[in-house]
Amino acid sequence: MPTILKTVGLLVLSNLFMTYAWYGHLKDKSKPLYLAILLSWGVAFFEYCLQVPANRIGHGVLTAPQLKTLQEVITFAVFALFSYFYLHEKPTMYDHLSFGLIVLAVGISLFQPGRGVNL
80-88 CB contacts, 8 Å cutoff, 24+ apart = 82/19, 82/20, 82/23, 83/23, 86/24, 86/27, 87/23, 87/26, 87/27
Cα–Cα distances in angstroms (integers) from residue 1 to residues 4, 56, 93, 119, in the given order? 8, 16, 37, 12
Count of CB atoms situated within 10 Å of the CB of 73: 19
Percent of all residues in the chain with a pLDDT value above 90, rounded to a whole number: 68
pTM over 0.85: no
Work out the pLDDT band at 115, boundaries 50, 70, 90: low
pLDDT tens column, 2-49: 999 999 999 999 999 999 999 999 998 999 999 999 999 999 999 999
